[in-house]
Amino acid sequence: MVRGASSVLLKPKTTEEVSAILSYCNQHKLAVCPQGGNTGLVGGSVPVFDEVIISMALMNQVESVDSWSGVVVCQSGCVLEALDQHVAEHGLMVPLDLGAKGSCHIGGNVSTNAGGLRLLRYGSLHGSVLGVEAVLASGEVIDCLSTMKKDNTGYDLKHLFIGSEGTLGIVTKLAINCPPRPTAVNLAFLGLQSFDDVLQTFRDAKSKLGEILSSCEFIDRSSLECVEENLKLKSPIEPHPYYMLIETSGSNGDHDEEKLNTFLEYVMTSGQVTDGTVATEPSRIQHIWSLRERIAESLIADGYTYKYDISIPLPHFYKMVEDMREHLGSSIIRCCGYGHIGDGNLHLNITSKEYEKEILSRIEPTIFEWTARVKGSISAEHGLGFKKRNYIHFSKSDGAIGLMKQMKKIMDPNGILNPYKVLPDN
């Protein structure tokens, strides 16, 4: 879908080198495409024409870990999983986890405001990133690399760089607040008969698991079948129309187990959950997580995947999948839904043997209109990138889009930073 024709790829090692590159490119009006782990799903990190690619892969140094405050300062090219392993030695964890952790960069996570599997517990990067150093299009370095949890001195500029997908500046360093690593982790895999039961079980998990609830994920039958058929992974329970993964993380294993048992007894006695299993050992936890994390990969074997990442108010959450399935009928192989139900974030995926323009035109803009009608978001955590920029008006007002364009103009007057991304074509 997205393929550029760049002839130059640069790999700076320092902020000064990024500054020198941008200063040169800005003077010569050369467009650049900043690239982290290149794991984005909306074409945000892929050049469109002949942009100069600036890869952050060599800027992978951890600068400091403050074990008093839990604040970590690092360069933006650190791979998420490697950074998490690094801070684990200090009893900390990166407050972000997602399927692409083995290759995505923390700077890319920040630039795209990645959400992931534990936003429910640890909140968004707008809350946990304390400081950012970024280079503007002009080459000017903006130092907002505060390591303080509270710093109300003027406009909090770091938020301009969080989620703007490299179109307002290139993030070179960041400070992130890392919580203590939990000593006890449990994972329940549940089977449910109706979507109403899913919603009620989420509500019960919030009230009965309270502060130890660290993830609440949803998988429909069609998604699980895809993982089973295409990747030969085995479900630990019998087939059900709906599944949930509920993870707890805490500081006292006995307490957590007791809370989880109380919760499970409640939802099974009430009949909301008709089958389930609990994993405590790391290898079983890993296996169950792979059923959720590898769905995207399993879809590839079907042929072509039309991928959507949408926020929807919970009462409408699964209705969208049902409506799309009915709307598309037999023209497709699969229409399935899974995702972060605790955050109201649905990953809706549709597959066909190969890419068909006609199928796409039946999906879009219908799916975005549907989302706008229930006041959802047409991109929950993936961003707009190249692929979704022209649908922005389904989630943002003309006034807001106008203000975004003005900000782009003052921060990147020549438009060299990641062009054709985020903002709509004129």
65-104 binders of a second copy (CB under 8 A): 66, 68-69, 91
Number of Cα atoms under 13 Å in the Cβ half of residue 181: 14
Rounded Cα distance between 157 and 161, Å, is 8
Residue from 9, 103, 203, 286 touching a second copy (CB under 8 A): that is 203
The nearest distance, CB 296 to a second copy, in angstroms, is: 17
Shortest Å, Cβ 373 to a second copy: 14
- CA 11 to chain CA centroid, Å, is 25
DSSP 60: -
Determine if 327 is a binding residue for a second copy (CB under 8 A): no
Tell whether residue 265 is a contact of a second copy (CB under 8 A): no
**What is the layout of strands, in order, in the sheet containing 273-279?**
273-279, 184-192, 242-250, 213-220, 334-340, 345-352, 304-311
> Binders of a second copy: how many residues, by CB under 8 A?
90
Query: Do 256 and 250 touch, CB atoms closer than 8 A?
Result: yes
Q: And the tokens for 55?
A: 């890869």
Residue with tokens 């995505």: 104
Stretch that binds a second copy, among 77-85, 189-197, 287-295, 371-379 (CB under 8 A): 371-379
Kindly calculate the radius of gyration of the chain based on its CA atoms and give it in whole angstroms.
22
**Cis, bond preceding 365 (omega within 30 deg of 0):** yes
Nearer to a second copy, 1 or 68 (CB): 68
Contact between 425 and a second copy (CB under 8 A)?
no
Alpha carbon distance 319, 313 (integer Å): 11
Contact 109, 89 (CB under 8 A): no
Interatomic CA distance for residues 362 and 332, integer angstroms: 11
For residue 321, CA distances in Å to 128, 272, 326, 327, 371 come to 32, 21, 9, 10, 11
Residue 300 sits at φ, ψ, to 5 deg, of -60, -35
Preceding amide of 180 cis, omega within 30: no
- The interface with a second copy within residues 219-238 (CB under 8 A) comprises none
Residue 257 interacts with a second copy (CB under 8 A)?
no
Q: Which is nearer to a second copy, 233 or 314 (CB)?
A: 314
- With CB under 8 A as the contact rule, the residue among 17, 50, 156, 297 that binds a second copy is 156
Quote the least distance from Cβ 395 to a second copy, whole Å. Answer: 4
Spacing of C-alpha 329 from chain mean position: 29
Contact 157, 144 (CB under 8 A): yes
User: Rule CB under 8 A: is residue 322 a binding residue for a second copy?
Assistant: no
- Angle (CA) 289-290-291 rounded to 5° is 90
**In terms of CB distance, is 376 or 419 closer to a second copy?**
376
1 binds a second copy (CB under 8 A): no
Q: C-beta of 402: minimal distance to a second copy in Å?
A: 9
- Pick the piece of the chain touching a second copy (CB under 8 A) from 3-11, 75-83, 157-165, 318-326: 157-165
Q: What is the maximum span of the chain, computed from C-alpha positions, in angstroms?
A: 69
**Which C-beta is closer to a second copy: that of 114 or that of 359?**
114
Site string for a second copy, 386-415 (x = CB under 8 A): --x---x--xxx-xxx-xx-xx--xx----
- 33 DSSP β-pair partners: 53
> Does residue 6 touch a second copy according to CB under 8 A?
no
426 binds a second copy (CB under 8 A): no
- Exactly one of 61, 85, 252, 270 binds a second copy (CB under 8 A); that residue is 252
SS3 assignment, position 356: coil
The verdict on 319 binding a second copy (CB under 8 A) reads no
- Of 51 and 204, CB closest to a second copy: 204
Q: What amino acid occupies position 281? A: E
- Considering only residues 274-303, where is the footprint of a second copy by CB under 8 A? none
Task: Give the pair of three-digit tokens for residue 164.
Answer: 């703007």
Interactions with a second copy, residue window 109-128 (CB under 8 A) = 112-113, 115, 119-120, 123-124, 126-128
Query: Residues 330-369: x/- map of binding to a second copy (CB under 8 A)?
Result: ----------x--xxx------------------------
Q: Report the DSSP beta bridge partners of residue 246.
A: 188, 216
Determine, following the binding rule CB under 8 A, whether residue 206 of this chain makes contact with a second copy: yes
Judged by CB under 8 A, the stretch of 29-37, 101-109, 209-217, 235-243 that binds a second copy is: 209-217
Residue 43 is a binding residue for a second copy (CB under 8 A): no
Alpha carbon of residue 185 to chain centroid: 22
Which CB sits closer to a second copy, 334 or 347?
347
Contact flag: residue 31 with a second copy (CB under 8 A): no
